[in-house]
Each structure stands twice: as structure tokens, then as C-alpha cells.
Amino acid sequence: MLAFICTACGTQYAPSETPPPHCTICEDDRQYVPPRGQTWTTLEALAASHFNACRQYEPGIIGIGAEPHFAIGQRALLVCTPHGNVLWDTIAMLDAATVTLIRALGGLAAIGISHPHFYTTMVEWSRAFGNVPIHLHAADRAWIMRPDPAIKLWDGETLALLPDVTLIRCGGHFPGGTVLHWAKGAGGHGVLCSSDICTVTMDRKFLSFMHSYPNLIPLSAEQVTGIAAALEPFAFATIYGHYFDRVIPTGGKHVLKISVERYLKAIGTYGS
């Protein structure tokens, strides 16, 4: 039995004799099946053809992403705090070098994931670090393709993971869409790990918000104002999106404000 991984989205399924007949994540309107059709790999095959690259953005924030690009191509973030390390989002690719390096930094206290597109090989990551808990918002439970006792579903609007580290449910892209706030990041000004719940745009000057990025389906005004309201109580300067180069270094809170205004104006609801 092998735990097959979808090559289009990186989702790993529960072990089976043959690859799953289709990918539930890719067939949803927030993803897509490539023109070539559905194909599958395994973690062993992936680790033979890829490696993980790391980038330290600031003390305590290290990005980890596969080279060459695999599936959606997001990078994870390792948030290192005096109270333990959190892995924010997971990527499909996990190898011995990655495990060795993270263990040398103190291992993991917890895994938090923004939404189902980045669940990937979360169970492998948990097992590699002593079955650490994987915190997923309960609203997205239907999209868990590899159930495991390490998965801890949380309900409500916020979850205090560690001192100064909070998961915030924003909704939007997925009903349980979650971001991570680290109050002590950015020299104490606060860091928001926004994944693609609030997407850092290509010019790194704005955020944007979508139901489906590949299929270009926007969110409603109500959903976007809901994201703004969820983030209102939190201070942050730096925003880390879900790709290596999607970072807003300063003024993050102001960027959120003008981004929400721009979005609402674009869909014709600003000021109404």
C-alpha cells in the first residue's frame, strides 16, 4: 500500500493498493485537473527528483519550498519562537535533509495549515517530528484526504497556538481559511502569515482575495469585509504570502486597509 500524492495539487491520500480514481481537491472549482489528466506520485519518488530550498526572511521566519517547483508550488514557513517552532502550511516534499535541519533548530511544537490546498503530506510532516498536532479549522474537515490521529480540528474564530502565536479564521477562499499571526515577529511589530487567504499580489503592494485563483472566481464584498474584521484586532507590519517572493516587508496593516478598499471599489460596492 502506498500513500499516493496528486501531482497537480500535492495532496496525499490515505494508503491504497492503486492510485485514487480522481483527486477530490482538483475537481473542486478552486483547483483544476491539468489537460494531461490526473497523475500520481509518491513521497519516495518526489524526494528522489526534488530537494527543499530554504530562505530566512528575518530571525525566526524561514521559508521552505521544493525545487524544482512541484504542484501548486507554495512554500511553507517555519516560525521559530522561544516557546517552540510552528510549521505554517505544509508542502508535499519532505526529505531527510529537511528533517535533520528542523530537528537541529529544535523540532516542531505544532503544525498549522491555512486551507486544504496546503494539507499535502501533513501527516508525513507530523510523524517525522514525533506526531506533533496538526491544527486544521473544523469548517474544512470534508477536505481531509488522509485522516490521522494527529489532526486536531479547532472551531471558532481564533486559536492561541503558543504565546504570541495565534491562528485566525478569516474564511473567504475556504470557509475555514486561516492565517497565522506572530506578535513578536518583525522586530516586535508583528507578522502576518497570510498564505493565499489574503494573497500578496505580484507587485507586493497589495493583497487580494479570491474564491478560486486558477479559475478566477472572486469573493463577495461580505466575505472580504469579514476578512478585514477578523484581522482588525491584530497588529502587524510584515505580511508573508504563500510563495517565496510574495512578501510585504512593512506597513502591512495599512496595506490590508487599502487592499480591501480597492477590492470593494473594483466589484462596485465601496462606499455603498
Give residues in contact with Zn ion (CB under 5 A).
6, 8-9, 11, 23, 25-26, 117, 196
Side chain identity, residue 227: I
- Pick 74 or 98: Cβ nearer Zn ion: 74
What are the residues whose beta carbons fall under 8 Å from the beta carbon of 104, sequence distance 6 or more?
A: none
Q: Least distance in Å: CB of 114 to Zn ion? A: 8
What are the residues whose beta carbons fall under 8 Å from the beta carbon of 198, sequence distance 6 or more?
A: 170, 179, 192, 207, 208, 209, 227, 231, 239, 241, 256, 259
- Pick 140 or 196: Cβ nearer Zn ion: 196
Q: Least distance in Å: CB of 18 to Zn ion? A: 16
For residue 16 the three cell numbers come to 491504497
- Pick 63 or 172: Cβ nearer Zn ion: 172
- Pick 9 or 200: Cβ nearer Zn ion: 9
Q: Least distance in Å: CB of 163 to Zn ion? A: 29
- Pick 72 or 102: Cβ nearer Zn ion: 72
Q: Least distance in Å: CB of 11 to Zn ion? A: 5
CB hemisphere CA count around 37 (13 angstroms): 1
Q: Least distance in Å: CB of 156 to Zn ion? A: 22
**Contacts by 56-64, CB closer than 8 A, 24 or more apart:** 57/238, 57/240, 57/247, 58/185, 58/186, 58/187, 58/191, 58/238, 60/182, 60/184, 60/185, 61/182, 61/185, 61/191, 61/240, 63/240, 63/244, 64/91, 64/98
